[in-house]
Chains A and B, each alone.
Chain A
Amino acid sequence: MTEIFGVPIQALFGQLMLGLVNGSFYAVLSLGLAVIFGMLNIINFSHGALYMAGAMLTWVGLEYLGIGYWWMLVLAPISVGLIGIAIERLMLQWLYKLDHLYGLLLTFGLALMIEGLFRDLYGVAGQPYSIPEEFAGAFNLGFMFLPKYRAWVVIASLSVCLITWYVIEKTRLGAYLRAATENPQLTQAFGINVPLMVMLTYGFGVGLEGFAGVLAAPATQISPLMGSNLIIVVFAVVVIGGMGSILGSVVTGLSLGIIEGMTKVFWPEASATVVFMIMAVVLMIRPAGLFGREK
């Protein structure tokens, strides 16, 4: 009764939940990548580093300044977003006319700098961050215990994704944004300040990563290395899903998180590589990605 395929049901649902949590991070990160890529034509390698910065800031805020989780949930994304705006104004804006590869290389360099700086300041050891008391404990669902914090992470990430989707697809601002993605010159000719929108898009995109970083702080070990390992998986997620559609990246992110969680139960050795294997299969069958369009 309490076992499925020889796996205790508790463990199975526990991993399913953990997969959902990871999947939510994949979803938020790949969404941010897609939004930035749409507007700036740049693959933002520093995405992982800024996600890490969000988590580290959360920890620093509590450790040194005594600022709690809820305040940091607002402050960290804003700080990371401001860092992003500075990066865009000072560096990225000079690269828009060049090959896309330069954007990747520049943000890779930035990622190394951010990661190295935090490593120099705080070392590589993981820092613990306790779960805010509102979310301590777990719900008893009868068949399993659901830690409240994990439920919050999934709900918060998905809400952010949905809000982003709504703003881009259903509001006037979003319409400007889509127009500017499609044809920047023409949109500018209609009197819309495209460079400003590009700047805000980048700020918003990396602010999302700051937000994901805060969410991740109590759920994982906070370490300067947490971002770089994640970003490579997120690249694979983006290749699998394609960057054409917002809901597409959310669905892809979540499902890959769940698949990864399930692999941990049934074939633990492959759990680190399963996303990459799926990517290889998708490349063979549908090179443009599941939701992508062939250009």
Chain B
Amino acid sequence: MSRRVTIAYLIGLALLLVAPGFIYPILVMKVLCFALFACAFNLLLGYTGLLSFGHAVFLGTAAYVTGHALKVWELPTLLGLAVGTLAAAALGWVIGSLAIRRQGIYFAMVTLALAQMVFFLFLQAPFTGGEDGLQGIPRGTLFGLDLANDVNLYYLVLAIFAGSFWLIQRTIHSPFGQILKAIRENEPRAISLGYDVAKYKLLAFVLSAGLAGLAGATKTLVFKFATLTDAHWHTSGEVVLMTLLGGMGTVFGPVVGATVIVTLQNELADKVGSLVTVIMGAIFVICVLAFRRGIVGESLALYKRMIGQKA
């Protein structure tokens, strides 16, 4: 099992390494950013059982802060990314400590409402550029390599994605990750076993917010702009959809989901116009009604049935 997984990882990595030779690098980078965003979100929904409906706010915050750091403060690229990520993690700490005071459905509403509040602050704050957003953000250089070159940037983005993906895997399989799963399965029992559930939830929330922030910061670097769309609740809905479609609580689910959704949006944007939202909504409905384990979850179940194990 573990050997096959290792081989799968290596094949995936090899494909990603040569991808810019075949596919438009900007598109692959966009997919990688959203895949990281969805993986970070999955850490919370899939492994801790917390549905945050305001995760776009971390993506957006990091996008703005990194954009501001690179453009106005003229920080080096990596430092800019770090500042954005830390800002998102800090905001995650604030929002997380408020939201974990309620459970289940209320948690989702609280995160959505707090994210909306931050969205309005961004709308009014002078440094975000209001409706126009931040534009013309420089990518800078790294180890003497000019990141304005898409292929150079691609390998930085790939490194960030691979590193974060590895970190998420380590977290899931660590004792800390096991406790998170215990909280997801049975919170009262985790409490009665003596775990400080609130502390673990908050830590998971901050980690997830920080990684979502890293995704947002990287996205700013790729597109050279940061806009209000990044922090809008529509984007929060999108990341939920990516995770649900790919398979929540699975390792590769969010990556698959993000790839499908980003590609779909890319293909459909000029063909159906505003009907994209309707299609996204329909995918949501179909997933919830008939397809709750997602693409990866259903495939795994099918595979297990084929080799004769109980799903």
A residues contacting B by CB (< 8 A) are: 37, 43, 91, 94-95, 98, 100-102, 104-106, 108-117, 119-120, 228, 232-233, 235-236, 238-239, 269, 272-273, 276-277, 279-280, 283-284, 287
Contact = CB atoms under 8 A, between A and B. Distances in A.
A242 to B, nearest CB: 9
A116 B281 contact: yes
A94 to B, nearest CB: 6
- Which one of B106, B276, B283, B292 has the highest number of Cβ atoms from chain A below 10 Å of its Cβ? B106
A43 B274 contact: no
Given A43-B105, A91-B289, A283-B101, A276 B277 contact: no
Interface of B: 51, 53, 98-99, 101-102, 104-106, 108-110, 112-114, 116-117, 120-121, 123-124, 233, 237, 240, 244, 273-278, 280-285, 287-289, 292
30 contacts: A95-B288, A95-B289, A100-B105, A101-B108, A104-B51, A105-B287, A106-B284, A109-B285, A111-B281, A112-B237, A112-B277, A113-B285, A115-B281, A116-B275, A116-B277, A116-B280, A120-B274, A228-B233, A232-B113, A233-B113, A269-B124, A272-B123, A272-B124, A276-B117, A279-B114, A280-B117, A283-B98, A283-B102, A283-B110, A287-B101
Interface of B is mostly: helix
A148 B167 CA distance: 62
Contacts of A95: 288-289
B288 A102 contact: yes
Interface of A is mostly: helix
Contacts of B281: 108-116
A239 B105 contact: no
Contacts of B284: 105-106, 108-109, 112
B102 A280 contact: no
B277 A115 contact: yes
A96 B98 CA distance: 29
Nearest to B277: A116
B171 to A, nearest CB: 22
Contacts of B53: 104
B231 to A, nearest CB: 13
Contacts of B98: 280, 283-284
B114 A280 contact: yes
A44 B292 CA distance: 19
Contacts of B282: 109, 113
